[in-house]
Structure 1
């Protein structure tokens, strides 16, 4: 489509809303990556070393931003504001924003984006700071220590996992942790899995040994009673298929097992093709277990016919 004009735009929302743009050309397809571009007029971008000195062309550094559009800070979060919105040593009396992104200048004046310098990541389109979830969990009175990380044990499926060291003899369990997270965190910041540990693994320097944190084991759990109906059996199988689990019980919560809205949409499609019934996304969120969802199937309208591929000749007839 040579008539289309394609722009690559980049900026964190803290410097609303675009800071760099790059008109993509056919020659860009031969680059290792597409540049995020040059700063817009009145916008300023610095690529700095840990001492806030500019780095040479081609050398990776931390991307900082300044100029019109910069936010005043984070509402009711002075510590995070002070950490991210810092004094600009290259223009005294002004501030700049530490993005947490890694970049480098190209000889042509464009910038390449190279990834993150901290633990911030995106899961299903939401920007996630594991430290925010960790800080909220630590307010639980029965937690001694905890850490929260993003795992990708199945390629393409990032999940937030909490590792918790309970206070001795507290009787802390996963249900209590989930209730605490649900009270204080939006859904996208709640861990998909919780792992209870006697202690957090440390390396010889006394820092957290992330590589030694075990993968959450969802396979060795009690699944409760057996399915009682054909619908329950089918839904338990669909839950297991979508969540990558060998066995799911009829009373187990789809979202507690690692499900999310994108998987819920796939579940709706599989219910339609397997059981011939339509369910809405709202229904999946409200009837979260196979047993509860099975009870809603009889009250749904007949499923819409499955989509099929058609030729252009069929479309014009």
Structure 2
């Protein structure tokens, strides 16, 4: 709750108050609001704003904290608004991934970051273990119980400690970019000869686009670094060679060549 001589507002993206129980961004007003950041006018302009709910000429500070106000007036901290990223058309709260990952019994600290240029971005999870380092497959399986497949991190990195800013906060920009490592198979690979012509054609397209000659029919597209541009390329070649228009959301729901081949068969059978 606010200190003396401090006003708090929970506002939406248009700086309008939100109802009790609804998440919004926390703004502070009152006597404790500073004039701005010393020597940083650009950042000051984005954080220190005119206060439409206070006395004339007053200003409010945009904290970047996401909160929810209860009926008792208490504020519940939910995360950071500037930790939200967009990947493959999905808005992802990095803080949510970090909070869930930190519940793993082998994890002492957790962080998440997005790497790579636009169109080829990869979500990575970072952990500082509480003891023996957990296996990436175990971390992914742990998150998969509560997160949709399309927003699961594609890489997992174990660090001895996180890089910090001079004031002791996580330096997300300094987290190392992961090296592309192909996941270890959890089962014996399915033989290609078990595929029908449609399945073999779809698998051949996946191998071409992903540049993996030994890719098997049941490997997960996102485990291999798949993203929207790769999906678009695969869908275009399927249309060109097999005459089927596969909706892009199919790849998120069924991210293996075998499953997509099944969809292609159905689409071809439905054609007049």
Per the alignment, residue 101 of structure 2 pairs with 137
Structure-1 residue corresponding to 2:7: none
The offset of 1:132, in angstroms, is 2.6
Q: Contact conserved, 1:236 with 1:247, CA < 8 A, in 2?
A: no
Match of 1:199 in 2: 160
Q: Could you list the per-position Cα deviations for residues 147-180 of structure 1 after superposition, in whole angstroms to 9, with x for gaps in the alignment?
A: 211111x55322210123445457x333332232
Higher RCO (CA < 8 A, seq sep 6+) = 2
Deviations 1:107-129 (A, max 9, x none): xxxxxxxxxxx554333454444
**Residue 192 of structure 2, aligned match among 209, 227, 241:** 227
Within the candidate set 217, 237, 256, 1:289 is matched to 256
Q: Which of residues 35, 41, 44 is equivalent to 1:59?
A: 41
TM-score scaled by structure 1?
Answer: 0.53
CA distance in 2, matches of 1:293, 1:247: 18
Structure 2 gap ranges (5+) = 1-9, 17-26, 54-61
Q: In structure 2, what is the Cα distance between the partners aligned to 1:125 and 1:286?
A: 14
1:59-208 mapped onto 2 (5 Å cutoff): 59-60=41-42, 61=44, 62-64=46-48, 66-67=51-52, 73-74=67-68, 78-80=75-77, 119-152=83-116, 154=117, 156-169=119-132, 172-186=134-148, 189-195=151-157, 197=158, 199-200=160-161, 202=163
Superposed displacement of residue 283, structure 1: 4.2
8 Å contact from structure 1 (residues 160, 192) kept in 2 = yes
Structure 2: how far apart are the matches of 1:254 and 1:297?
Answer: 17
TM-score (norm 2): 0.59
Distance 1:138 1:73, change over 3 A: closer
C-alpha deviation, 1:298, in angstroms = 2.9
C-alpha contact (below 8 Å) 2:106/2:132 kept by paired residues = no
Structure with the higher helix share, 1 or 2: 2
Structure 1 unpaired stretches of 5+ = 1-12, 20-44, 85-99, 101-117, 305-317
Residue 220 of structure 2 corresponds to residue 253 of structure 1: yes
**C-alpha distance 191-135 of structure 1, shift in aligned 2 (>3 A):** same
